[in-house]
């Protein structure tokens, strides 16, 4: 049963827009309120993102498969090198896809945002850009959402998709202190793919300086790069010196990465500190719930944060579509079903990400050699199971092809 009032989504990132699209495909009324303006989103400096098959496939179920494939590069494996370009280990993800799955993809964040924005527009979903959510109040028959501009919106439910510093999360559980990973990143996108192996992101690590980085194709004639290093939270360079800093940091790493950092226009280099959340199993209350980073921000090491937001979105829509939404109790019950269906999966993925992100980095060359050897042995034994689990597809009660409005 369709609720009288819209489901209000706070945030138009990957999680919010995918939620809106999935709900709209089920014929459920939905409205999105986003802090940034549409131009701010479109003109944000570029960076890349990996959509592993567990996210590309559900986005395909939402009708975006062809557009995603056209705008991205496939990812079939990852190669990991030391700073002199000597191969440390390889991992193949592609042989471990589930039947019927789309391949894993690397894509520009701006391209993914554009595809999602266009898809919700085609479904006539109203996205109110430049209108941040301030707070909410659960009423007898839904939720009253207040916006920073003073307006009030009445919804059947509120979905907080407003990222790691979520306002909706704060309202639910009070101030939730983030965990700083101790690491920060620079990212950028440059034209050209010279020297890059198609479909295989290349990662590098300099054991002396402990600076890591990666470079990969993102569709079209472009590549994305990252650099990461240990730094205190909030530390920033003098304005205008970021690019020179990134170039300096990249010095120990191979030219494939170094040259791309140098070629990126200064204004297109983004710095992001890596914050995540302690695990917590209260994502909601009554007609309110969370998706994506708002619910479970995790370290970026496995590239699964946005992927888990996509999984949340399709499972949430599936749970609501199967629920009785004629009463507030019915809406709340469907949201608890969604949360219950997600906890175990997200907890596992988050745990793997935290383990990789916080693994000790041995100082001595001998200890590093032993660690490298153990990693290769572990991968030889566990690669198949690890990739199958990581790329596992969400299970839905209504098959995607049977969703009303799927065509
Ligand atoms: C360096 C780095 C690399 C990464 N690489 C990958 C990768 O390869 N693959 C992957 O899957 N993940 C990756 N991630 C993680 C991924 O970026 C996040 O997990 C993902 O963006 C979370 O999506 P989201 O929609 O939950 O939140 P966000 O993307 O943060 O979107 C939240 C939205 O809410 C809006 N908002 C905030 N407050 C309000 C408010 N009060 N009212 C209304 N709107 C509001 C924001 O403006 C934003 O648009 C990476 C992260 C980092 C830092």
pLDDT band at 404 (very low <50, low <70, confident <90, very high): low
Q: Which residue has the higher pLDDT, 373 or 179?
A: 179
pLDDT of residue 405: 55
Atom of ligand 1 nearest to the CA of 168: 41
User: For residue 405, how many other CB atoms are within 10 A of its CB?
Assistant: 10
Identify the residues whose C-beta falls under 6 Å from ligand 1.
Answer: 10-16, 33-36, 49-50, 132-133, 161-163, 167, 185, 187, 272, 274, 292-294, 300, 303-307, 309
CATH of 181-276, one of 3.40.50.300, 1.10.3720.10, 3.30.9.30, 1.10.10.60: 3.30.9.30
Contacts of 342 (CB under 8 A, 6+ apart): 283, 311, 312, 315
Torsion angle of C-alpha atoms 78, 311, 73, 65, degrees rounded to 10: 150
The answer for residues whose C-beta is within 8 angstroms of residue 35's C-beta and 6 or more apart is 11, 130, 131, 132, 133, 162
Q: What is the pTM of this model?
A: 0.96
| Among 126, 133, 163, 390, residue to substitute to test ligand 1 (most atoms within 8 Å of Cβ) | 163
Q: How far is the CA of 16 from the centre of ligand 1 (A)?
A: 10
The pick from 14, 272, 357 for probing ligand 1's pocket by mutation, whose C-beta has the most ligand atoms within 8 angstroms, reads 14
Ligand 1 pocket test: which of 9, 11, 130 has the largest number of ligand atoms within 8 Å of its C-beta?
A: 11
The reported pLDDT for the residue numbered 407 is 43
The CA distance from 353 to 304, in Å, is: 8
Topology of the domain covering 7-178+277-402 = FAD/NAD(P)-binding domain (3.50.50)
The pLDDT of residue 381 is 75
* pLDDT tens string 72-120: 999 999 999 999 999 999 999 999 999 999 999 999 999 999 999 999 9
- Does the structure show a pLDDT above 50 at 229? yes
What's the whole-number average pLDDT of the chain? 93
Angle between helices 305-322 and 14-25 (to 10 degrees): 30
- Do domains 7-178+277-402 and 181-276 share one topology? The answer is no
Sequence spans of domains, the chain: 7-178+277-402, 181-276
Atom of ligand 1 lying closest to residue 308 CA:
11
pLDDT at 2: 83
Q: Is the pLDDT of residue 386 over 60?
A: yes
Residue of 57, 47, 34, 26 lying closest to 311 (CA atoms): 57
Q: Rounded CA gap, 67 and 180, in Å?
A: 35
Residue 382: per-residue pLDDT = 82
pLDDT score of 199: 97
pLDDT digits (tens, 9 = 90+) for 298-333: 999 999 999 999 999 999 999 999 999 999 999 999
């Amino acid at each position: 049963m369709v609720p009288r009032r819209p489901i209000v989504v706070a945030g138009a990132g990957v999680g919010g827009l995918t939620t809106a699209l999935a709900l709209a495909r089920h014929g459920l009324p939905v409205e999105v309120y986003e802090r940034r303006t549409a131009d701010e989103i479109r003109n944000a400096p570029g960076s890349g993102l990996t959509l592993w098959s567990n996210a590309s496939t559900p986005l395909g179920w939402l009708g975006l498969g062809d557009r995603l494939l056209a705008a991205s590069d496939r990812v079939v494996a990852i190669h990991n090198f030391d700073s002199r370009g000597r191969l440390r280990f390889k991992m193949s993800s592609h042989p471990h896809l589930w039947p019927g799955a789309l391949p894993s993809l690397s894509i520009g964040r701006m391209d993914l945002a554009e595809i999602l924005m266009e898809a919700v527009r085609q479904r006539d979903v109203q996205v109110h850009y430049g209108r941040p959510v301030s707070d909410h109040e659960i009423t007898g028959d839904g939720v009253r959402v207040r916006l920073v501009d003073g307006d009030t919106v009445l919804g059947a439910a509120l979905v907080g998709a407003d990222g790691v510093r979520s306002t909706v999360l704060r309202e639910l559980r009070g101030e939730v202190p983030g965990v700083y990973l101790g690491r920060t990143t620079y990212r950028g996108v440059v034209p050209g793919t010279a020297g890059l192996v198609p479909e295989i992101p290349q990662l590098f690590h300099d054991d002396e300086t402990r600076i890591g980085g990666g470079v990969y194709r993102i569709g079209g004639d472009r590549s994305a790069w990252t650099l990461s290093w240990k730094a205190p939270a909030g530390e920033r360079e003098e304005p205008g010196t970021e690019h020179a800093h990134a170039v300096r940091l990249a010095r120990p790493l191979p030219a494939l990465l170094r040259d791309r950092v140098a070629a990126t226009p200064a204004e297109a280099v983004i710095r992001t500190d890596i914050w995540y959340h302690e695990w917590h199993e209260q994502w909601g209350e009554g007609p309110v719930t969370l998706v994506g980073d708002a619910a479970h921000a995790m370290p970026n090491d496995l590239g699964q944060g946005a992927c888990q937001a996509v999984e949340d979105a399709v499972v949430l829509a599936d749970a609501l579509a199967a629920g009785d939404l004629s009463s507030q109790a019915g809406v709340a019950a469907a949201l608890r079903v969604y949360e219950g269906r997600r906890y175990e999966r997200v907890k596992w993925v988050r745990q793997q990400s935290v383990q990789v992100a916080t693994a000790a980095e041995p100082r001595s060359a001998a200890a590093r050699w032993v660690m490298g050897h153990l990693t290769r042995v572990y991968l030889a034994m566990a690669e198949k199971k690890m990739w199958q689990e990581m790329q596992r597809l969400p299970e839905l009660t209504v098959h995607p092809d049977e969703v009303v409005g799927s065509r």
